[in-house]
Every structure is written in C-alpha cells, then in structure tokens.
Amino acid sequence: MAVLSAAGADAKPLDIGAMVKEAGLAGLIAFGLAFGLVGFETLDVPGGLAINTRFDDVAAVVVLTILGRIAMILLREHRPLLVAVIGLPFSVVLIVSLVFGWWTYFLPFSSAMVGWIVALMAAVFSLRAINALSHGDTVASREQREKTMDRIGARVQTAAKYVGPLLLAFAIILPFLPFADRRILDIGILVVTYIMLGWGLNIVVGLAGLLDLGYVAFYAVGSYSYALLALHLDMGFWVCLPFAGFMAALTGVILGFPVLRLRGDYLAIVTLGFGEIIRVILLNWYEFTGGPDGLSGIPRPTFFGLEFKRFAPEGMDTFHTFFGLEYSPIQRIIFLYYLILVMALITNLFTMRIRRLPVGRAWEALREDEIACRSLGINPRNTKLTAFGIGAMFAGFAGSFFATRQGFISPESFTFIESAIILAVVVLGGMGSQIGVVFAAILLIGLPEIFRDLQQYRMLAFGSAMVLIMIWRPSGLLAHREPTLLLNDGKSKPQETS
C-alpha cells in the first residue's frame, strides 16, 4: 500500500468496494452490449439462417472491459504505479507476440486486429501511468489539453514550412524510386486524390464553417460532366476539365442558394439529402447516365494531344513514340499521378492565397460569428455561396480526374460514405489545416491500402477516429490558426493570456 500511494501524497485511501462496484457495472454494460451481437452469429445456411454462439468472445470482452475500467479508476485515483507495472509488460508481450504471429496460442480472438486493439489500449494506459509517475499529474483539464494541442498544431504548421517541401519533393520523385511499382503509384494517385478533395472540402468546412455532408455530389457532377461530354461530344479531357469544374460549382451554387441560410446542423442534413438525391437521380436516369451500369469507355487523358497507347490512332501520335521511349503501360500511370499532383497543388495554392483575400477572411469571420458579419455589411449568403461554389468546383475537377483515371464510373462510387471519408480526412487533420489534410489522407487512405488486411476494419477505424478526435479536440487534431496578416511582424507574436 505504501508503494501504491507513493505517487500522490494527497491520495485518499483506495475504496476497494466502490472500485469493484464501478468495474462490475462496466462489465455488466459490456456484457449487455456484447451478449446479443457478439455472442450470437447469424450464419447463412440453405433455406434461411442458423445461429452460432461465440460466448468466449463475450467473456473476453467483459473481462477486458473490467480490467480497463480498473486501470482507469487507478489512474483517476492517483495510483499509476500498479497500472504501469501490469500494463507495460502486458502490452509489450502482446505486441511482440502479435508481430511474430504467436498470438493464436493464448488469445481467444478470431482476428489479430482485436489483439492489436487490446495491446494498444494497454499501451495507452501504461503510457499514461508512466507519464503520471514522472509528472505527478494524471488528469489534464480540457483547457490545458486545448492549449497543448494548439501548441503542437502551431509547431506542426511551422514545421510544415520545411516538411511540406520535403513531402513535395518525395511526391515528385516517387515514380522514379525503385520500389514504386504500379500498385504503389495507384495508391499514390488515390491518396493525392483524397488530399485534393480534402483541401477542397477544407474551404467549405474548415474556413467557412459550413458542414457539407454531400460533398461527393459535386465530385459526381464533375465525373459525369466529363464522362458525358467526352462520350457524346467527343471532347478531350483538357477542354472538359474547366467545364466539369464549372458544372460542379454551378450545382453547388444552385443547391446552396436556398439552403445556406439554415443553421449549421440543419445545413449538414440538407446537404446530405442533396447528395443522396443526386445519387438516386444518377442511378435511375438510364437514358442519360446509364443507371446502375454507369458509363464506361471514358477516354483517357492525353499529354498535349499525345495518347498513352501502344499504337497511335489515325492521325495522332503517341507519347512514347514522340519522346522516343519504349512503350510501357506505366507511363500512363505516372502521367496520371503527376496530373493529380499538379491539380492538388493548384488547389492548395489557391486556398492559401484566397485565405489572405477579403473573401477568405469573410469566410472565417462568418464561421466565427454570422450576426457580427451582417452588422459589418458582409452579405452572408453570397459569401457562403462563394465558399460552397469554390469547394464544389475543386470537387468537380477531382471528379473529372477520377472519371478519366477509372475509365468507368457508376453511382456506386458516390455514396454518402465517400462524403464521410472526405470529411474524416478534413476533421482528423484539423479543420482549416492544410498539412493536416495531407497527414490524415496518408493515414486514412494510404495505410489501409498498403496493409490489405486492414481493409475490413478501415471504416470501423474511420468511425472511431472521428469520435475520438472530436472528444479529444473538437476543432480537429492539428487545428491551429495563424493570422493572415501581422501588424507587429515578429515583435509581439500572438500569445496566450497569462
């Protein structure tokens, strides 16, 4: 006992009875949650369903919940030593066995993923305990956390000045690195597409503070605009690109016009509704959009009129003959990669620039206080419409890229989940933070693509990441705002009140 209470001199004696009661209650709740859905599995058998039991999993869930709860209580009651002593070896053993694949011998779970989660939780607990042992304080108040996170955000943004160019340089030479095969490049293209979409949505959500849950609709409009123009009017990618952006922006403005005066959460639901309406229309308007079959045979982009094909069509030249290269299908992939990279960079430059213009400042002011904006003579509706329209425009650009890359599009690619993923990228990165979007996209899109095993847990992780980050920091993980212009350059940096 003397050892246990050494961490906090002022610690009250531990009330074992209350602790058991609290942990027991948590176990009971966990049992209630797990019993139905974890305990029984519905199996598809010919002629209906059969049921299978997984009570061992339920037991594991309950035991782990109780252990976790006890650890939380101990941390709360300033007794971190015990948690550290038990938690650390436990997590280390678990992680080692997971890495080497021994976990099947002593863990009851059907998947390594569960083992990883348990190991991570144990690691988090023991790290918190160690932190408490070394700093003597376990519970940080919300304001303290907010301040710490803001400082980290500021540091990341300062670091972004150096890391950004490095990342960019890496992105530029990526196709020529030895390990960059087709799969890596495809993942690269995907990640950069989401970075671009994230940057586009960041204008709407991060700067203007308008929660748009139907962002994918504009992506869809861009895709279909390009596909239809290319298929029916035989227009090239470069001609269609501005048009697709324009169509998406127009859709944004038309949809936004009636709804942008709605309050934040209503606006979110209405944009979700619009997103679904557009998807249902695409799904059912057979003559025009091909319905669920989608559109196929969408032309690939050309490099200033040079096709990426082995043999040139009549009167055209191909990329490899023009440059005297050996034909290789990867040339097109590399080209697509650079194409989206440039498009994404333009989005970024545009955003950085417009933030410093009156309209960008008005967006942020609107996010902060719409009523004050009105009293200063700012037209809230037009200002919001520009944000909405510009955000939609970038989605439209990205959409036409998506169409030309895939060569095939169907409404399936434009579901609400897609909007939610883009939103998760923005939120996770920290609303308004450009570098945050990059990290979030690599983390959320890149990692699950590289580790295919993680695929089925990807959406689960998305969901929990959104929840955890909002609880941890409602303004987003790396959110930090630097003023767009300074009066006393460097002399008196913006500081916290002491």
Partner 1 sequence: MQGSFEYFLDQLINGTTLGAVYGLIAIGYTLVYGIIGMINFAHGEIFMIGAFISIICFLILGAAGITWIPLALLIVLIMTMLFTAIYGWTLERVAYRPLRGTPRLAALITAIGMSIFLQNYVQLLQSARNKPMQPVFSGGIELMQSNDYIVSLSYLQMFIMSLTLVLMIVFSLVIARTSLGRAQRACEQDRGMASLLGINVDRTISLTFVMGAMLASVAGLIFLLNYGVIDFFIGFLAGVKAFTAAVLGGIGSLPGAMLGGLLIGLIEAFWSGYFTVEYKDVAAFGILVLVLIFRPTGLLGKPDIEKV
Partner 2 sequence: MSVAEDLSVAKTLLNVEHLTMRFGGLVAINDVSFAATDNEITAIIGPNGAGKTTVFNCLTGFYKPTVGRLTLNHPSRPYQLEQMEGYLIAQRAGVARTFQNIRLFPAMSVLENLIVAQHNRLMQASGFTVLGLLGLSSYRHAEREAVDYCRYWLDRVRLTDRADWNAGNLPYGAQRRLEIARAMCTRPNLLCLDEPAAGLNPRESDELNELLTFIRDEHKIGVLLIEHDMSVVMEISDHIVVLDYGQKISDGTPDYVRNDPAVIRAYLGEDEEEGGS
Residues near partner 2 (CB under 8 A) = 350, 353-354, 357-359, 361-362, 364-365, 368-369, 371-380, 386, 481, 483-488, 492-497
Closer residue to partner 1, CB minimum distance, 309 or 458? 458
Q: Say what the alpha-carbon torsion angle 219, 225, 228, 229 is, to the nearest 10 degrees.
A: -140
Nearest 5°: CA angle at 371, between 365 and 374? 80
Stretch that binds partner 1, among 156-164, 265-273, 385-393, 479-487 (CB under 8 A): 265-273
Closer residue to partner 1, CB minimum distance, 299 or 429? 429
Q: Which of 24, 42, 55, 352 binds partner 1 (CB under 8 A)?
A: 42
Stretch that binds partner 1, among 87-95, 119-127, 297-305, 452-460 (CB under 8 A): 452-460
Residues forming a β-bridge with 303: 306
Interaction between residue 316 and partner 1 (CB under 8 A): no
Interaction partner, residue 466 (partner 1, partner 2, none; CB < 5-8 Å by kind) = partner 1
Interaction partner, residue 362 (partner 2, partner 1, none; CB < 5-8 Å by kind) = partner 2
Interaction between residue 408 and partner 1 (CB under 8 A): no
Interaction between residue 292 and partner 1 (CB under 8 A): no
CB 373 within 8 A of CB 366: yes
Closer residue to partner 2, CB minimum distance, 18 or 357? 357
Stretch that binds partner 1, among 120-128, 192-200, 273-281, 344-352 (CB under 8 A): 273-281
Cα 225 to Cα 187, 222, 337, 404, 465: the distances in Å are 25, 5, 21, 11, 34
CA–CA gap between residue 155 and residue 71 (Å, rounded): 32
Closer residue to partner 1, CB minimum distance, 25 or 96? 25
Shortest Å, Cβ 35 to partner 1: 7
Please count the other Cβ atoms lying within 10 Å of the Cβ belonging to residue 63: 13
Interaction partner, residue 239 (partner 1, partner 2, none; CB < 5-8 Å by kind) = none
Interaction between residue 59 and partner 1 (CB under 8 A): no
Cα 306 to Cα 175, 211, 234, 309, 317: the distances in Å are 20, 41, 16, 9, 6
Nearest residue to 210 via CA among 454, 65, 384: 384
Interaction between residue 144 and partner 1 (CB under 8 A): no
Interaction between residue 217 and partner 1 (CB under 8 A): no
Closer residue to partner 2, CB minimum distance, 24 or 358? 358
Closer residue to partner 1, CB minimum distance, 240 or 282? 282
Interaction between residue 274 and partner 1 (CB under 8 A): yes
Closer residue to partner 1, CB minimum distance, 273 or 446? 273
Interaction between residue 38 and partner 1 (CB under 8 A): yes
Shortest Å, Cβ 223 to partner 1: 20
CA–CA gap between residue 225 and residue 245 (Å, rounded): 9
CA–CA gap between residue 51 and residue 497 (Å, rounded): 61
Q: Which residue has the tokens 């082995």?
A: 310
Interaction between residue 109 and partner 1 (CB under 8 A): no
Contact partners, residue 440, CB within 8 Å, separation at least 6 = 198, 424, 425, 426, 428, 429, 477
Interaction partner, residue 493 (partner 1, partner 2, none; CB < 5-8 Å by kind) = partner 2
Interaction partner, residue 277 (partner 1, partner 2, none; CB < 5-8 Å by kind) = partner 1
